[in-house]
Amino acid sequence: MAILKRFRALIGLLLVLGFIYLFNQETAQDAVFLTWDSLVDMMALLPPILMLVGLMDQWIDKEMLMKYMGDDSKFTGIFITLLLGGLAAGPLYIAFPIAIMLLKKGSNIRYVVFFFGVWTIAKLPIVLYEIASFGWGYTIVHVGFGLVFFYIMGIIFERIFDKDELIKQDIT
Amino acid sequence: MNIAFFLYSVIGVLSIISFFTDREKTKRAAKKAWNMFSKLLPELMAILLFVGLSLSILTPEFISSFIGDQSGALGVVVSTVIGSVALLPSFVVFPLGETLVQNGAGLPQVSALMAALVAVGFASLPMEIKLFGRRFAYMRNGSAVLMSVLFAMIVWVIF
């Protein structure tokens, strides 16, 4: 039963896929091919990132990280978060293990929430796509507003959540 | 695949340097990386299948039919919902948005859709709950929904 529970989301989605297949075989086949494509994309990103997280976990000193991203870090925290999130590649779930590592090393919750925000809206490669499709003005409004919004959210989350209780499952 | 090549090479070199500096640390790092991978795998497979389903169902024609130029506030709500539930690779999001606008969808509605697509993760919610707890995951995604709606309103006023 435990295994069934672990895979329940996957089983549910497979049922949806089967259901779609009954009505529209072509869409279902597309879905299978597209899933394969995203599996290939995932394998391009996740294993090296996890290895990087593992290395950072071993080599980065807790005191050092706390100094730069801890409670009293101010601008270095913002700067490092922008750098980490902005140079990132890939979907949000790749950011989760990185966030766990940062939290374990004593990073402030504010920067972790801000990091998710930066990861979703200010990744440099994606921003280039946005500029190409919608122009500079639109992109600056989107990224600028998003960054301010998620920084404020970070401040709010920092007050609500207890750092020591945030990590529910230490996957490392 | 360029990003993949870059990542694998850089992190491969870092791992080799690390290995020659301290074997034990590097072994522990590799073990941690593998543990993370195997623990994330069930949710990960579900997310990948979800991406496949989203991409196959959400064709530009399908979305355009919901969020035309005249769809107004309701269109913003619909696109925020679609954007929150679906998960598309982020490099697909903006070209898709451009196609939608060309097909007659309104810019504020498309903005809400794109902002929600990138910032709200319904598909990765089980993983987020598992790692950070229900309250954090719901609140973070809730704040991202709020961000998408506010952004659509800003676009509505400015552009």
Condensed to tens digits (0 to 9), the pLDDT of residues B114-151 reads 999 988 988 899 899 989 999 999 999 999 999 999 99
* Cβ pair B25:A34 closer than 8 A: no
Number of domains in chain B: 2
The pLDDT assigned to A119 comes to 93
Minimal C-alpha gap between A32 and chain B (Å): 6
| Domain locations along chain A | 1-44, 60-166
Based on the fold, state whether residues B36 and B63 are members of the same structural domain. Answer: no
CA A146 to CA A127: how far, in whole Å? 12
ipTM for this model: 0.89
Residue B122 lies in a domain: yes
Condensed to tens digits (0 to 9), the pLDDT of residues A108-147 reads 999 999 999 999 999 888 899 899 999 999 999 999 999 9
A interface test, pick of B98, B100, B118, B128 with most A CB neighbours within 10 Å: B118
CA A31 to CA B53: how far, in whole Å? 5
The residues in B 19-58 lying below 8 A from A, measured between CB atoms, are 22, 25-26, 28-37, 39-40, 42-53, 55-57
| SS3 of chain A | CHHHHHCHHHHHHHHHHHHHHHHCHHHHHHHHHHHHHHHHHHHHHHHHHHHHHHHHHHHCCHHHHHHHHCCCCCHHHHHHHHHHHHCCCCCHHHHHHHHHHHHHCCCCHHHHHHHHHHHHHCCHHHHHHHHHHHHHHHHHHHHHHHHHHHHHHHHHHHHHCCHHHHCCCCCC
Joined together, the tokens standing for residue B147 give: 């961000």
The pLDDT assigned to A1 comes to 65
| Mean pLDDT within A148-154 | 96
Domain of residue B115 covers 58-158
Residues of A in contact with B3 (CB under 8 A): 44-45, 89, 125
| Mean pLDDT within B31-35 | 94
CA B100 to CA B56: how far, in whole Å? 16
- Taking alpha carbons only, the member of A83, A152, A95 closest to residue A120 is A95
* Cβ pair B51:A167 closer than 8 A: no
The pLDDT assigned to A170 comes to 75
Joined together, the tokens standing for residue B121 give: 């993760």
Based on the fold, state whether residues B35 and B101 are members of the same structural domain. Answer: no
Using an 8 Å Cβ cutoff, are A148 and A80 in contact? no
Based on the fold, state whether residues B34 and B90 are members of the same structural domain. Answer: no
Minimal C-alpha gap between B77 and chain A (Å): 18
Condensed to tens digits (0 to 9), the pLDDT of residues B49-67 reads 998 998 898 888 888 888 8
Q: Say yes or no to pLDDT of B1 above 70.
A: no
B interface test, pick of A119, A151, A168 with most B CB neighbours within 10 Å: A168
Q: Say yes or no to pLDDT of A172 above 80.
A: no
Rg for chain A (alpha carbons), in Å? 19
Based on the fold, state whether residues B153 and B89 are members of the same structural domain. Answer: yes
Pick A8 or A136 by higher pLDDT: A136
